[in-house]
Amino acid sequence: MNGTLTSDKLSAYWMPFTANREFKKSPRIITSASGCYFKDDKGRDIYDSLSGLWTCGLGHNNKYINKAITKQLNTLDYAPSFQFSHSYAFDLAERIASLMPHRLDKVFFTNDGSESVDTALKMARAYWRKKGMASKTKYIGRIKGYHGVNFGGVSVGGIVGNRSLYGQGIDSDHLSHTLLKGNEFQKGLPLEGAYLAEELNDLIALHDASNIAAVIIEPVAGSAGVLPPPVGYLEKVREICTKNNILLIFDEVICAFGRMGSYSAAEKFDVTPDIMTTAKQLTNGIIPMGAVISQSEIYDTFMENSGDEGVIEFPHGYTYSASPVACAAAMATLDEIERQGIMERVNNLSPLFEESVHSLKGLPFVNDIRNYGLAAGITLEHKDNTPMKRPYDIAMSMWEKGFYVRFGGDTVQLGVPFITTPKEVDLLVNALGESIENS
């Protein structure tokens, strides 16, 4: 496929999460990729500072993963997963469970993060029904949370721009976000803010625990600009959920499988949710796949309270759940994570990444910098009273310089590949500094 596009070819494609009119005036077209770099249609190498969309930590065009996918395509290209299956799904589920904290050992496959979130939300409501507590239907999300684009995820999500066009959602309330004044420029976990978890008690007092199915939060919120949890915050949320018989869902679509220097944020922060949602890095972004991992008690509740053995206990699933090719991609990704010692690499690189990103403090327009693992967010002063404008200008200037950089709201976000080098981080941050200064 030739990557060059003439302007008459641009009209049919309605692009997702894109300013279509602006893009089509000056398209940014990627034609190939290898390692930490894209190539664009002008033949330039472009450094991938977000690992795709937080997906390709192992870099692009990984030969081992590609080979595993090709082999699978030539063996079993597709198999139905409703009432029939194939052995790769069971192998992969077992492997994922073995990498998760104790008790998170039942794996339900989806195709992406949004499906994982809506699956987890449905699982939570159905779980309470199976236990005879059908009134527990409300969800508690968090302001600035991002949980994908399906109706459940949008309802519990807290990014206004992603909600405002769609009217009434699913019954949800929201905790405050944890972006506190006074915590600016803290490295890693902010020290202040655990008390914000106490708001959950207020929401429980308002709605009553008998009406609440689950709390869903990202341990480190990604799309809102990388918000690591204040020290002690996740522990407190866990404690309140347990005390009030409310399920806790960690949305680890960005966090899981390496970005935090661990297989899960739950492991890193030593706080275990009842259900965890994952996707993205599970297949290194190559084939769509997500996984919802639940505690066995949840699975057992479905098994024990669904009547006759012939009854489908959880009437939910996707045509492509556990597709053999996605399973092969995930298995090969997990092999590569292990073979390349990715957790150690991420943990070794993270302090340098942290120092480097925080060196931008003091530049004009930089209002805050946050980081954890290989994720960082930089909040920028609004330009022309428009929050998105400066990050957009910076990202465009970076693209000109040969760097793909994510911009969203009033932030620029970095999620460098796990395999990147200190030199590349240096080049990225230097270029970003220049673009910020000139914005």
Ligand X SMILES: Cc1ncc(COP(=O)(O)O)c(C=O)c1O
118 lines the binding site for ligand X (CB under 6 A) = no
Torsion of CA 428, 429, 430, 432, to 10 degrees: 90
Among 246, 249, 256, 279, binds ligand X (CB under 6 A): 279
254 lines the binding site for ligand X (CB under 6 A) = yes
CB of 293 to ligand X, least distance (A): 14
Q: Could you give the string, one character per residue 38-57, with x where binding to ligand X holds by CB under 6 A and - elsewhere?
A: --------------------
**Shorter beta-carbon distance to ligand X: residue 222 or 409:** 222
Residue 310 makes CB contacts below 8 A (sequence gap 6+) with none
Q: In the block, which residue shows the tokens 């000109």?
A: 400
**Shorter beta-carbon distance to ligand X: residue 203 or 227:** 227
List the interface residues with ligand X, window 221-240 (CB under 6 A): 222-223
Among 59, 141, 148, 408, binds ligand X (CB under 6 A): 148
289 lines the binding site for ligand X (CB under 6 A) = no
- Extract the tokens encoding 1: 């496929």
**Shorter beta-carbon distance to ligand X: residue 254 or 369:** 254
CB of 149 to ligand X, least distance (A): 6
Cα 226 to its chain centre, rounded Å, is: 11
Q: How far is Cα 304 from Cα 290, in angstroms, rounded to an integer?
A: 26
CB of 151 to ligand X, least distance (A): 13
Residue 398 makes CB contacts below 8 A (sequence gap 6+) with 49, 404, 405, 431, 432, 435
List the interface residues with ligand X, window 78-117 (CB under 6 A): 112-114, 117
218 lines the binding site for ligand X (CB under 6 A) = yes
CB of 310 to ligand X, least distance (A): 33
Q: Residues binding ligand X: what is the number (CB under 6 A)?
A: 14
141 lines the binding site for ligand X (CB under 6 A) = no
Residue 200 makes CB contacts below 8 A (sequence gap 6+) with 140, 175, 215, 237, 240, 241
**Shorter beta-carbon distance to ligand X: residue 48 or 218:** 218
Element (H, E) at 216: strand 212-217
- DSSP count for the chain of H helices, then E strands: 14, 15
What are the backbone dihedrals phi and psi of residue 173, each rounded to the nearest 5 degrees, phi first?
-130, 175
- Give the residues lining the site for ligand X (CB under 6 A): 112-114, 117, 146-148, 218, 222-223, 251, 253-254, 279
